[in-house]
């Protein structure tokens, strides 16, 4: 728990500001993870920072805004990875999918180290919302698939359903993965990718 406010590190006001912003973000990540977005209160968040409740509002206008900021921060870290993969996807859809899914699993595995570990095991983790990083995967995956279909590298199937299916898979299998010890991202990736790639050829083709 970072008690930044009480340790203005080197006399720099700016440093404190940045540190407080991060402290709130960290605390929010923890609390959202522990209690769930809906259930947790702003006080739960701020209590963990050691800051005063009013201070929260110097940085974020509301609980929603921290949530978004948290998501943005996640997306900022995650999106470049995906873009890079996309760039060298070429015709290797499998390679791309594997890399993307793997990146996502690595991402959440790393995320959880900051907070999910200290949760009572077996407790269900409410899956609050579609976070931006997930949305990013979704869009990327979807566009790669669309591209592949157009180029004739992939069968023409229901893209909406397929993209939804992929994102769903990644999310749920990801959650399960995090419940296990040790967290094995490779196995989870393998599972997802094989299920998708194995299943796609069987999917009903679109007529048009």
Residues of this chain that interact with a copy of itself (CB under 8 A) are 36, 38-39, 126-127, 129-130, 157-158, 160-162, 164-165, 167-169, 171-173, 175-177, 187-188, 190-192, 194-204
Interaction partner, residue 121 (DNA, a copy of itself, none; CB < 5-8 Å by kind): none
Determine how many CB atoms are found less than 10 A away from the CB of residue 69: 16
Closest distance between a copy of itself and the C-beta of residue 29, in Å?
18
Closest distance between DNA and the C-beta of residue 63, in Å?
5
Torsion of CA 139, 144, 145, 148, to 10 degrees: 160
- State the binding string over 22-61 for DNA (x if CB under 7 A, else -): -------------------xxx------xxxxxxxxxx-x
Instruction: Check residue 130 for interaction with DNA (CB under 7 A).
Output: no
Q: How far apart are CA 37 and CA 39, in angstroms?
A: 6
Spell out the residues 6+ positions from residue 182 whose beta carbon is closer than 8 angstroms to its own.
Answer: none
Interaction partner, residue 66 (a copy of itself, DNA, none; CB < 5-8 Å by kind): none
Closest distance between DNA and the C-beta of residue 133, in Å?
22
Interaction partner, residue 191 (a copy of itself, DNA, none; CB < 5-8 Å by kind): a copy of itself
Q: Which of 129, 75, 84, 68 is nearest to 107 (CA)?
A: 75
Q: How far apart are CA 142 and CA 168, in angstroms?
A: 13
Instruction: Check residue 20 for interaction with DNA (CB under 7 A).
Output: yes
Q: Which of 35, 59, 55 is nearest to 46 (CA)?
A: 55
In the complex with DNA, the residue whose CB is nearer, 15 or 153, is: 15
């Amino acid at each position: 728990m970072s008690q930044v406010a009480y340790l203005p590190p080197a006399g720099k006001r700016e440093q404190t500001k940045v540190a407080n912003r991060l402290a709130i973000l960290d605390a929010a990540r923890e609390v959202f993870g522990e209690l769930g977005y809906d259930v947790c209160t702003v006080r739960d968040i701020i209590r963990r920072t050691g800051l005063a409740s009013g201070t929260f509002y110097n940085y974020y206008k509301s609980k929603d805004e921290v949530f978004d900021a948290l998501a943005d921060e996640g997306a900022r870290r995650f999106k470049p990875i995906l873009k890079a993969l996309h760039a060298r996807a070429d015709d290797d859809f499998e390679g791309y999918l594997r890399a993307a899914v793997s990146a996502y699993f690595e991402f959440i595995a790393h995320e959880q180290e900051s907070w999910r570990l200290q949760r009572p095991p077996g407790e269900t983790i409410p899956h609050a919302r579609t976070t931006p990083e997930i949305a990013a995967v979704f869009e990327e995956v979807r566009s790669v698939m669309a591209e592949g279909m157009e180029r004739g590298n992939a069968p023409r199937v229901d893209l909406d359903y397929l993209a939804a299916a992929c994102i769903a898979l990644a999310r749920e299998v990801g959650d399960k993965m995090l419940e296990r010890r040790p967290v094995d991202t490779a196995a989870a990736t393998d599972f997802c990718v094989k299920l998708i790639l194995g299943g796609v050829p069987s999917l009903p083709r679109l007529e048009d």
